[in-house]
Structure 1
Amino acid sequence: MEMSLETVDEVIIDPAYLQTLLRRVVLSECLLLLSWDCSPLGKIKGESSVYRVACTTLDNQIEQKHTLILKLLKSDSLRDQVDHYHYWKREALIYESAILRQLPFGIRAPICHAVEEHPDDTVWIWLEDIAIEDIQSDEWSFEQMCKISYLLGTYNGAYLTGTPLPAESFLCRNWLRSWVEVCTAYAKPIEKHQVIWDSCLNDCNGTSLIWELYLRNRNRVNSLLDTIEKLPRVFAHQDVHWENIFLAQQDGTASLIAIDWQFASISGVGEELGRMFGYALMKNKIPMSKIEMYKEELFQCYLQGLRDRGWLGDYKLVRFGFIASASLRFILVMDKLVGSLTEDKGINKEKSRHLLLVAQTLLELAEESWELVMGNTARGDDQVLHER
Structure 2
Amino acid sequence: MPEEQLPLPHNRNNAVTRGVWRGEDGLIHKVLTHRRTDAPPQWASSADPRFWNYWRREADVYLSGLPDRLGLGAPKLVELRELPDGDLELLLEDVSGTHGGDLTLEDIAAVAFAMGQAQGSAHLPSEPWFSQGFLADYSTTRPADFSLLEDDSAWSLPLIAAHFPPELRAALVRLHRNRERLLTVMTRLPRTVCHLDLWPNNVIRRPDGAVALLDWAFTGDGAVGEDAGNLVPDSFFDWPLRPDFAEHLPDLVTEAYLDGLKAAGWSGDPRSAVLGIRASAVKYDWLMPWCLQAALEDRHRAYGSGEAVDPHVRYEARAAGLAICARWADEAVELADSLGL
TM-score (norm 1): 0.71
Could you tell me which of 2, 7, 26 is aligned with 1:8?
Answer: 2
Kindly tell me: are residues 117 and 287 of structure 1, through their superposed partners in 2, closer, same or farther at Cα, counting changes over 3 Å? same
Distance 2:69 2:62 in 1: 11
Structure of higher RCO (CA pairs closer than 8 Å, 6+ residues apart)? 2
Structure 1 position 230 matched with structure 2 position 188: yes
Q: Which amino acid aligns with 1:271?
A: E
Q: Does the CA contact (< 8 Å) of 1:278 and 1:329 recur in 2?
A: no
More divergent stretch after superposition (294-303 vs 205-214): 205-214
Aligned to 1:220: 178
Distance 1:286 1:205 in 2: 12
Structure 1 position 374 matched with structure 2 position 337: yes
Q: Does the CA contact (< 8 Å) of 1:337 and 1:356 recur in 2?
A: no
- Residues 297-331 of structure 1 show CA distances to partners (whole Å, capped at 9, x for unaligned) of 21111111111111132111110111111x22442
Could you tell me which of 87, 93, 110 is aligned with 2:75?
Answer: 110
In the TM superposition, what is the alpha-carbon distance from 1:94 to its structure 2 partner? 2.1
Could you tell me which of 35, 57, 60 is aligned with 1:93?
Answer: 60
Q: How does 1:158-173 map to 2 (within 5 A)?
A: 158=121, 162-166=122-126, 168-173=127-132
Kindly tell me: are residues 273 and 72 of structure 1, through their superposed partners in 2, closer, same or farther at Cα, counting changes over 3 Å? same
RMSD after superposition: 3.1
Aligned to 2:109: 146
Could you tell me which of 230, 235, 259 is aligned with 1:280?
Answer: 235
Could you tell me which of 41, 49, 52 is aligned with 2:19?
Answer: 49
Structure 1 position 323 matched with structure 2 position 317: no
Kindly tell me: are residues 204 and 73 of structure 1, through their superposed partners in 2, closer, same or farther at Cα, counting changes over 3 Å? closer
Q: Does the CA contact (< 8 Å) of 2:185 and 2:279 recur in 1?
A: no
**3-state SS of 2:32 partner:** strand
Determine which structure has the larger strand proportion and give its number.
Answer: 1
Could you tell me which of 327, 332, 339 is aligned with 1:364?
Answer: 327
**3-state SS of 2:286 partner:** helix
**3-state SS of 1:303 partner:** helix
In the TM superposition, what is the alpha-carbon distance from 1:138 to its structure 2 partner? 3.7
TM-score (norm 2): 0.80
Distance 1:69 1:290 in 2: 30
In the TM superposition, what is the alpha-carbon distance from 1:54 to its structure 2 partner? 3.6
In the TM superposition, what is the alpha-carbon distance from 1:280 to its structure 2 partner? 0.3
**3-state SS of 2:335 partner:** helix
Structure 1 position 180 matched with structure 2 position 139: yes
Q: Does the CA contact (< 8 Å) of 1:224 and 1:370 recur in 2?
A: yes
Q: What is the aligned residue count? A: 317
Distance 1:174 1:342 in 2: 32
Could you tell me which of 341, 361, 364 is aligned with 2:295?
Answer: 341
- Residues 52-82 of structure 1 show CA distances to partners (whole Å, capped at 9, x for unaligned) of 3445xxxxxxxxxxx4432111324622143
Q: Which has the larger radius of gyration?
A: 1
In the TM superposition, what is the alpha-carbon distance from 1:173 to its structure 2 partner? 2.1
Q: Which amino acid aligns with 1:190?
A: S
**3-state SS of 1:143 partner:** helix
Distance 2:247 2:100 in 1: 23
Distance 2:125 2:62 in 1: 16
Distance 1:73 1:82 in 2: 14
- Residues 24-71 of structure 1 show CA distances to partners (whole Å, capped at 9, x for unaligned) of xxxxxxxxxxxxxx623413635342233445xxxxxxxxxxx44321
Distance 1:351 1:109 in 2: 29
- Residues 1-42 of structure 1 show CA distances to partners (whole Å, capped at 9, x for unaligned) of xxxxxx714xxxxxxxxxxxxxxxxxxxxxxxxxxxx62341
Distance 1:270 1:111 in 2: 26
- Residues 352-371 of structure 1 show CA distances to partners (whole Å, capped at 9, x for unaligned) of 44434433332121111111
Structure 1 position 240 matched with structure 2 position 198: yes
- Residues 91-134 of structure 1 show CA distances to partners (whole Å, capped at 9, x for unaligned) of 12222334345232xx232333443343435221233x2x3244
Q: Which amino acid aligns with 1:165?
A: P
Structure 2 gap segments, 5+ residues each: 38-43, 300-310
Kindly tell me: are residues 89 and 147 of structure 1, through their superposed partners in 2, closer, same or farther at Cα, counting changes over 3 Å? same
In the TM superposition, what is the alpha-carbon distance from 1:141 to its structure 2 partner? 0.9
Q: Which amino acid aligns with 2:31?
A: L
Distance 1:267 1:290 in 2: 26
Aligned to 1:383: none
Distance 2:76 2:23 in 1: 15
- Residues 163-206 of structure 1 show CA distances to partners (whole Å, capped at 9, x for unaligned) of 2332x2221122211221222xx112425862543553798898
Q: Does the CA contact (< 8 Å) of 2:175 and 2:285 recur in 1?
A: no
Identity %: 20
Kindly tell me: are residues 310 and 70 of structure 1, through their superposed partners in 2, closer, same or farther at Cα, counting changes over 3 Å? same
